Structure 1
Amino acid sequence: MSHDSPPVRRLADWDHDRLGRLAAEHATPLYVVDLDRVAANYERFASAFPDAHVMYAAKAHTGRAVLSKLLETGADIECAAWGELQRAIDAGADPDTLQYTAVNPPDRDLDYATDLAEEHPGLTVTGGARDTFDRLEARGYDGRVAIRINPGIGTGHHEKVATGKDAKFGVPYDEVPELAEELNERFDLVGIHAHAGSGVLHDDLDDHCRAISKVADMGRTVEDRVGGLEFVDFGGGFGVPYREDEEPLDMRVVGEKVRDAVGELEAQIKLEPGRYVVADAELILTEVNTIKETPAATVVGVDASLATLIRPAMFDSYHPIRNLTAPERAAEPVSVGGPCCTSADVFCTDRPIARPEREDLLAIGNAGAYGYELANQFHSQPRPAEVAIEGGETRVVRERETLEDVTRLER
């Protein structure tokens, strides 16, 4: 791992001149991802858990450049939908190494997974409902399965990501031992899985470790019932600091806390970081087009919107914003919003930023996790281009959509 890789990258740490050149060449809004940072984040996480099998949770960012870089770095991939399975394979993943976590899977997802497993029996399918296993069996599947359990403890930055206590996710905790015995007769039961939540930082770490401990207890119970498991998968959830005054996790300390929470376990520990790997490796460049002084606020209009980055509207998420054109200007409280006709299209309200002027270039940070993944075409806005930085070079890894792309499937 690179020794010059800090535990968090702030907006001030990016090369502002390079970002300005990229915006001039490729226009805005523009996603910029640093693939070397992606690799460094993964390596830092993996080094904190030397005895664990660390898989990247693809749903955080399924761009081919990101997946390929992580595969090159040594990561395996965990997928939550059939499209992610296919994209991982397209990026170079060996299908026998993939893990598919099915959440209320549509028929096409299960059809794809069972067809894939016929040629690649190393594929592992994780189910969170008895119904899912019945549907797998009805398709003639008798291969590798894991049970997703609901530990009843949810953690993370927002209630919408506290999956560990959401009935949508996982088999109820008390039902797991009996189901494990049953599935051990019907399939090759290789593990159990849980995911307590997402965006876990210092304040949530104790609760997260309580959930891990509870899952480990169930792992030991299931091992006693069925005679051993290959793995117990504790999911991901480890966060990064989005706010400038938040401190990053010390992964060495986190590794010790997790090992203490797990205790003695014969099965291999699996972990699935997603956000931790990609969040601070990507930002959005956006240009100021409007400055409006009102009695209530100074409104700064930009060409990015909730179609570019929906997390502030969806999760009330904080993303750092920096004026790259003139960071030395005096900071003034401003509200930054995009061109969508909804009050939800706001990136910040009354936040001190080096006073923007029209045509200034702003950067919106920590956009790598669930940024482009949730980008959309609201207001018929084509999705932005994505440029990758790697080894000092830059290249376009995702073309900017056109209006023709937005409408080409219409009839």
Structure 2
Amino acid sequence: MTDLADSPAVRRLADWDHGRLEGLADEYDTPLYVMDLDRVKENYTRFAAAFPDAEVMYAAKAHTGKAVLEAVLEAGADIECAAWGELQRSIDAGADPNTLQYTAVNPPDHDLDYAADLAEEAPGLTITIGATDTLDRLAERGYDGRIAIRINPGIGTGHHEKVATGADAKFGIPYERVPEVADRVREEFELVGLHAHAGSGVLTEGLEEHCRAIERVGEMARRVGDDELEFVDVGGGYGVPYREDEEPLDLERTAEMVREAAGELEATLKLEPGRYVVADAGLILSEVNTIKEAPDATVVGVDASLATLIRPAMFGSYHPMLNVSAPDRDSHPVTVGGPVCTSADVFAHDRPVARPERGDILAIGNAGSYGYELASQFHSQPRPAEVALENGQSRVVRRRESLEDVTRVEQ
């Protein structure tokens, strides 16, 4: 078990060893993803300790790298997967397929084929459905095993409208239809749980709305008979502070509010943190290559781009930034952008950063969740390497792609 005595609730960029980060950039080149696996284990252990009577899974979609999956398994987590590839990668990392939970969202035929075949060998696999069509398609494949019903609670929460899944018709069975769907599942399959996920990036000030969704899940569980369910899964969505002036999630208060919102349950409460476990365990190192004085801004060009980290372009997300080469220089407001030919390829506008010079290394923080997962090869840019830190050592866990990797699938 990870010792939490010296593990702060959030790791800021200032807490990293800047000299070591410069050394990693020099040794492994840039742009470079860095993942601290010790921090991953600390974060999972801290979260699980706040919910001692619950089952805490890891939501794989936040970061499916093998080293990260191995780390959360070592910390004692089971894994929740949103696609067949995540199921396979979890198994490759050492997960028992009988412990996996597959949350199917409009699953392609290949995904359902894979899940149904896997369940023949691993009957403990749980498939979470969000549409009755999925039940029909599973029945066509001869599946009659473990099913959880995903509820649409009608309440969405989180840092951006694109992640407020709890109010999006794409996700889950409409609330009032859940009892009839539960009756059908009991007749044709094995109903083991209810599931909901309200949104993502929830901090303490957003907990009340988040818990309103959890209240509805608890109410529905009692309505359909929670004494006949194994679990009630209230999903993840628990956030970390991206901005320097934001406070970390108050886990003690969070646990108290979640338990109160769920109410009395015979079934086991289940949670699925993803971002909370990996976000502040990862960062990107990028080298400054251009300094341009424009009429309205000082533009700093770096070798990372929206192909490396798309969250600022996709969600308008704020990521902290630090000049690890010279953190003590006077700060200067700069616009930091990459080499992709679009105005969306900007990490920060007028951001105070210790005055960058060509050749400096900038660190972009909180890149451990939905960072490498959303990386692309836009502009024929090979994806970066990823280095893991663990027990004082560093190692490459994902090599840097070459142009041959980019073009390998072409015919």
TM bracket, shorter-chain basis:
over 0.9
Specify the alignment match of 1:139 in structure 2: 141
| Secondary structure of residue in 2 paired with 1:74 | coil
Report how far residue 242 of structure 1 moved: 0.2
CA distance in 1, matches of 2:19, 2:327: 12
Report how far residue 222 of structure 1 moved: 1.1
Is 1:361 matched up with 2:372? Answer: no
Report how far residue 204 of structure 1 moved: 1.2
Specify the alignment match of 2:172 in structure 1: 170
Specify the alignment match of 2:269 in structure 1: 269
Specify the alignment match of 2:312 in structure 1: 312
Specify the alignment match of 1:59 in structure 2: 61
Report how far residue 4 of structure 1 moved: 0.5
| Secondary structure of residue in 2 paired with 1:56 | strand
Specify the alignment match of 2:131 in structure 1: 129
Letter in 2 for 1:365: G
Q: Which runs of 4+ in 1 moved over 2 A?
A: none
Unaligned runs of 5+ in 2: none
| Secondary structure of residue in 1 paired with 2:322 | strand
CA distance in 2, matches of 1:394, 1:296: 41
Report how far residue 228 of structure 1 moved: 1.1
Letter in 2 for 1:84: E
Report how far residue 296 of structure 1 moved: 1.1
CA distance in 2, matches of 1:128, 1:154: 16
CA distance in 2, matches of 1:348, 1:222: 49
Letter in 1 for 2:8: P
Report how far residue 203 of structure 1 moved: 2.3
| Secondary structure of residue in 1 paired with 2:228 | coil
Unaligned runs of 5+ in 1: none
Matches within 5 A, 1:1-400: 1-223=3-225, 228-400=228-400
Letter in 2 for 1:316: G
Cα RMSD for the two superposed structures: 0.7
Instruction: Give aligned pairs, total.
Output: 409
Report how far residue 250 of structure 1 moved: 1.5
Report how far residue 262 of structure 1 moved: 1.0
Q: Provide the identity percentage.
A: 75
| Secondary structure of residue in 2 paired with 1:352 | strand
CA distance in 2, matches of 1:346, 1:129: 38
TM-score w.r.t. structure 1 length? 0.99
Letter in 2 for 1:305: S
| Secondary structure of residue in 1 paired with 2:225 | helix
CA distance in 1, matches of 2:357, 2:127: 52
TM-score w.r.t. structure 2 length? 0.99
Contact 2:238/2:276 (CA < 8 Å) preserved in 1?
yes
CA distance in 2, matches of 1:302, 1:101: 38
CA distance in 2, matches of 1:179, 1:407: 46
CA distance in 2, matches of 1:239, 1:376: 24
Q: Tell me the alpha carbon deviations over residues 332-385 of structure 1, each in whole angstroms, 9 at most, x when there is no partner.
A: 110000000000000000111111010000000000000000000000000000
Report how far residue 252 of structure 1 moved: 1.1
Report how far residue 2 of structure 1 moved: 2.6
Report how far residue 182 of structure 1 moved: 1.1
Letter in 2 for 1:29: P
